[in-house]
Amino acid sequence: MKRSKIYEYAKIPHPENVVIGDHCSIEDFTLLNSSKIQIGEYVEIGTGTKIVGKGELILKNFVTISPNCVLITSTPDLHRELAVSSTVPNNIRTPIIGKIIINQHCFVGAGTVILPNVKIERKCVVGAMSFVPSNSILLENSVYVGCPVKRIGRRFRKKKKIDEGDK
């Protein structure tokens, strides 16, 4: 039996496209509406987060997506299309369809936007209100912030030895 909590006001229009592992929390006012969504175990998706597009999203175990994030798995190709609205028939449009992969033990801060074809390696932190553009690879054990994101440091630093005089 799965022990995940999907809050009353979370919306999953196509549940057949979504696999949710054990011990997850999908909070109110989230939208999970992408062609394929795989959610590992112990994942939290904060209130107001939107996951949309024609591509694939993979959230590995122990991922936290803070409130009001937007993860977009497909986007119009603005360099090749005039008509970019989703109301235009697919035979006229050629959207960029991709995959977003967020690996184990990652944290995505509130209000962050992530575009298609992004891979976030293990133990990464993306600071609040950041923008992760298409085709980005965020390195393991790193901290990223900004618009667009820039690496500002490591998440886990080596422990310093405590000298006798520092006690």
> Which CATH number belongs to the domain containing residue 162 in this structure?
2.160.10.10
pLDDT higher than threshold 90 for residue 11: yes
For residue 86, the tally of other CB atoms under 10 A from its CB is 11
Per the structure, the complete domain to which residue 68 belongs is given by: 5-166
Structure tokens at 59: 């959230």
Q: How many domains does the chain have?
A: 1
Instruction: Provide the β-strand partners of residue 34.
Output: 53
With helix as H, strand as E and coil as C, how does 63-77 read? CEECCCCEEECEECC
Q: What is 16-56 written as a DSSP string?
A: GGEEE-TT-EE-TT-EEEEEEEEE-SS-EE-TT-EEEEEEE
What is the C-alpha separation between 149 and 104, in angstroms, rounded? 19
Task: Give me the mean pLDDT over the 153-166 stretch.
Answer: 66
* Over residues 64-89, mean pLDDT: 86
Contacts of 1 (CB under 8 A, 6+ apart): none
* Alpha-carbon gap, residue 114 to 70, rounded angstroms: 6
The confidence band for 31, taking pLDDT boundaries of 50, 70 and 90, is: very high
Lowest average pLDDT, out of 35-39, 47-51, 90-94, 144-148, goes to: 90-94
Whole-number Å distance between alpha carbons of 113 and 75: 13
Alpha-carbon distance 78 to 82, whole Å?
7
| pLDDT at residue 147 is higher than 50 | yes
Quote the pLDDT of residue 144: 98
Answer yes or no: is pLDDT of 1 > 60.
no
